[in-house]
Amino acid sequence: MFEETVTSLAAADTTAGRPPLQTLLSDAHSGVLLFGITPPRQSASPDEVRQIAAVTIARLAPLDVDGLVLYDIDDESDRNLDERPFPYLPTMDPAVFQADYLAGWDRPVVVYRCVGKYPEADLRSWLSEADTHTVLSVFVGASSNQKAVHTGLPKAHALRQEVRPDLLVGGVAITERYVRSRDEHLRIVAKQVQGCAFFISQVIYDVDATKSLVSDYFYACLEQEVAPRPILFTLSVCGSLKTLAFLKWLGVGIPRWLENALRYAPDPLAESYDHCVVAARELSAFCRRLGMPFGFNVESVSIRKVEIEASVALAAQVHALLGRPP
């Protein structure tokens, strides 16, 4: 009991005067920092899930992030026929994990929704019940055109407008889709029109292409006379060649020079950590110069403890780099 009080006081102290995530994003502030995690496996017992939640909250408590991101993992085997470097294990519904296990987390949670997984009625009932003080969402479309979906992305946005317009919703921004089709910036503008107030990128290793996506998005907004919405850049360390293979399997574009640097590095985790810091610096400087609102989302795509700990250290360094007091 005493410990709980101390924790909340400490948390209140570090955020003194800082508006909540919803306000920061609505007002298109720069400097938002999130931390992303994958919910526990579906096979975990309630006790195990409670323990995972406690460990996670304890690990993130000193970080002063603006919110937590909970991914909604979809079996994307239809998207990539290559063997998955890590096996696909169904994970808990992030909305359930948030509602039933994260009461101890005192900041907002961005709940991802792969909308195609959910029948319209389920999505509707979740939307109507979500607590907008603690929950935001990111709607994600199907991972491929071939996939049968319960609810399409435009329908999901329409539902949100109808049922719960006060729930802040974002979308994903994908550098690799920009590289392939050169229209990702226009897709982002279109999602903004559908109601997205912010965007979270996929894991970024290709900083240069991401700058091009941001630049094209910024100038498309200028042309269409709409204000650009914040993009939060997702950074993840890569602690081993297996994680590198997994990043590539996920579709993360990695410039050859960086892939070579990781492959030949005596310590790939330290090497990738340094590159993430350089990426954060370069993207911050680029966005500031352009006048583009931005922030970061730090995660670990691997569940190895050493990589998770490096992600927490990275989030602390990005926090400092954003000019926020420690």
Binding-site ranges for a copy of itself (CB under 8 A): 206-209, 211-212, 214-216, 219, 255-257, 260-261, 264, 286
Residue type, 13: D
Residue 190 CB, nearest distance to a copy of itself (Å)? 19
CB of 260 to a copy of itself, least distance (A): 5
Least Cβ distance, residue 261 to a copy of itself (angstroms): 7
Q: What is the nearest approach in angstroms of a copy of itself to the Cβ of residue 270? A: 14
d(Cα 205, Cα 148) in Å, to the nearest integer? 30
Q: Minimum CB separation from a copy of itself for residue 193, in Å?
A: 22
Question: What are the angstrom distances between the C-alpha of 144 and each of 124, 140, 276?
Answer: 23, 11, 29
Give the chain's radius of gyration (CA, Å): 19
Which residue, 215 or 240, is less far from a copy of itself as judged by CB?
215
- Which two tokens mark 56? 């996670």
Residues 6+ away with beta carbon under 8 Å from 72? 93, 94, 111, 112, 113, 114, 117, 140
DSSP state of 116: G
Q: Residue 204 in contact with residue 235, Cβ under 8 Å?
A: yes
Contact partners, residue 131, CB within 8 Å, separation at least 6: none
Residue closer to a copy of itself by CB (options 88, 219) is: 219
Closest to 34 (Cα-Cα) out of 71, 65, 1: 65
Say which DSSP state 41 is in: B
Smaller CB distance to a copy of itself: residue 93 or 184?
184
CA distance 251 to 175: 10
Whether 314 and 34 have beta carbons less than 8 Å apart is answered as no
Minimum distance between the CB of residue 92 and a copy of itself, rounded to whole angstroms?
Answer: 39
Two structure tokens written together for 149: 């979906």
Closest distance to a copy of itself from the beta carbon of 257 (Å):
4
Contact 153, 141 (CB under 8 A): yes
Closer to a copy of itself by CB, 246 or 286: give it.
286
End-to-end CA distance of the chain: give it in Å, rounded. Answer: 26
- CB closer to a copy of itself, 261 vs 322: 261
Residue with tokens 């929950």: 135
Minimum CB–partner distance for residue 111 and a copy of itself (Å): 32
Torsion angle of C-alpha atoms 229, 26, 137, 123, degrees rounded to 10: -110
Nearer to a copy of itself, 176 or 216 (CB): 216
Nearest distance from residue 225's CB to a copy of itself, in Å?
16
Pick 167 or 258: Cβ nearer a copy of itself: 258
Nearer Cβ to a copy of itself, position 93 or 216?
A: 216
Closer by beta carbon to a copy of itself, 214 or else 308? 214
Residue among 247, 308, 237 at smallest CA distance from 273: 237
